[in-house]
Chains A and B, each alone.
Chain A
Amino acid sequence: MPEAGHTGEHVHPTAEVYLRVAAVLVILTVLEVGVFYVPVFHPVLVPALLVLSAAKFTLVVMFYMHLKADSRFFSFLFGAPLLLAVAVMIALLFLFFGALTLRGTAGAG
């Protein structure tokens, strides 16, 4: 990497960090499946699962894809479309499940 110096984008974590992140990821996955099977959690199943998977998502993106240490511009290139996609998804869910409509019949799609 001759240009590693002047591009200043390589502050990659060590293998040890990678392993620790992997451990956390595994634990989170076990938790996810656990939450799914243990009836106690069922009232909060959806939020719990969303939080857990968001955590996994963030860990991989931050550490394995180095966004935490890399240029913030890359975070923008990834984050902006991601937000857009999420916004579109929420808007479509609203439109399809009729929360935005007053009439029952209009909600069906």
Chain B
Amino acid sequence: MPRTRLWLLTAALAVSGCAGPFPQSTLQPRSDFARATDALFTDIFWWAALVFVIVETLLVVALVRFRHREGRPVPKPMHGHTLMEIAWTLAPAVILVFVAVPTVRTIFATAGDAPADALKVDVIGHQWWWEYRYPELGVVTANEAHVPVGKPVQVTITSADVIHAFWAPRLGGKRDAIPGRENRIAFRADSVGDYSGQCGEFCGASHANMRLLVRVDADSAFERWVAAQRAGPAAPAAGSLAEQGKAVYSRSACLGCHTIQGVSPGVIGPNLTHVGSRSTIAGGIFPNDSAHLAQWIADAPALKPGSIMTRMKPPLTDADIAALVAYLQSLQ
């Protein structure tokens, strides 16, 4: 059967991970958590493949061998066979034991909390962006999380509005972000790099646009990042465009929704204290450059369906927007 071969071939390709850059592939795990689930899946896959091959072969053989031919005598009526029934009840049951035991083992292996000294990260899902808080480090950021390589990380997940699911495939499986509840996962990333992911639970108009990035840093880079994030916002140079931008920001609606340390306390949108240091904006869907920032500030819902950040009323002038962009970019 050609389909069988195709399945095996393509699967082998995908499992071995040599079929191109797949930034969200679950088959290229880069943490203990993701490796555990991947190993389990590989196990199950081969059992399934075995069952598939046996059963489909039987089916095809039956069809070929017993297809109608002229003059074939009327078949003997066979009503059943107790021994065979028992056999094909037991055989799958036995196979399932081989699936169930590692399953339960992995459930318990991946369910435990990380050691007490693990880095704690609180993840809060919002329509349609991610808020990250590092309670022990006093850092608050959005959409891009940083974690150190090789260190256990304890992630606590919840939501501010509807149900989302936090998912960075190469670092581990999903966990739902449920309002009024805290879920936890723990993992230890094993190589430095950028791991993308996205929201896994349908959460409304822009569910597709609720992406995320986890940056696994080497120790020193992580410490530098933390230090930068803990510092207050950069003060714009006197007379610069950025300083005008700060003024625009301070008299516009922005401050009702956004926090910039020492400037505004809003909590509806992402914390902008260090927005300039992030590589993307708006739930990871646009690069953080002047053009996109300007468009975003002018008309966010046009870029992102349903965005909670509405168009500003009255609309900002182009000059104001340019100033705002300069200001935001200065917030490294």
Contact = CB atoms under 8 A, between A and B. Distances in A.
A106 B107 CA distance: 15
Contact of A109 (B111, B113, B180, B184): B180
Nearest to A109: B181
Interface residues of B, number: 7
Interface in A63-109: 102-103, 105-106, 108-109
Interface in B183-216: 183-184
B161 interface: no
A54 to B, nearest CB: 35
Contact of A108 (B111, B113, B181): B181
Nearest to A104: B182
A108 B158 CA distance: 13
Contacts of B180: 108-109
Interface residues of A, number: 6
Nearest to A105: B182
Interface string A30-41: 000000000000
Contacts of B184: 103, 105
Contacts of A108: 180-181
A103 B182 CA distance: 11
B43 to A, nearest CB: 24
Interface in B305-332: none
A102 B113 CA distance: 11
Interface in B142-188: 180-184
Contacts of A105: 181-184
A102 B181 contact: no
Interface in B57-115: 111, 113
Nearest to B158: A105
A102 B182 contact: no
A15 B181 CA distance: 57
A108 B180 CA distance: 9
Nearest to B182: A105
A98 B184 CA distance: 16
Contacts of B181: 105, 108-109
A105 B180 CA distance: 11
A102 B107 CA distance: 12
Interface in B287-318: none
Most buried by B among A102, A105, A108, A109: A105
Interface in A1-40: none
Nearest to B184: A105
Listed from nearest, the 4 A-B pairs whose CB atoms lie closest are A105-B182, A108-B181, A109-B181, A105-B184
Given A108-B181, A109-B181, 11 more contacts: A102-B111, A103-B111, A103-B113, A103-B184, A105-B181, A105-B182, A105-B183, A105-B184, A106-B183, A108-B180, A109-B180
Interface of A: 102-103, 105-106, 108-109
13 contacts: A102-B111, A103-B111, A103-B113, A103-B184, A105-B181, A105-B182, A105-B183, A105-B184, A106-B183, A108-B180, A108-B181, A109-B180, A109-B181
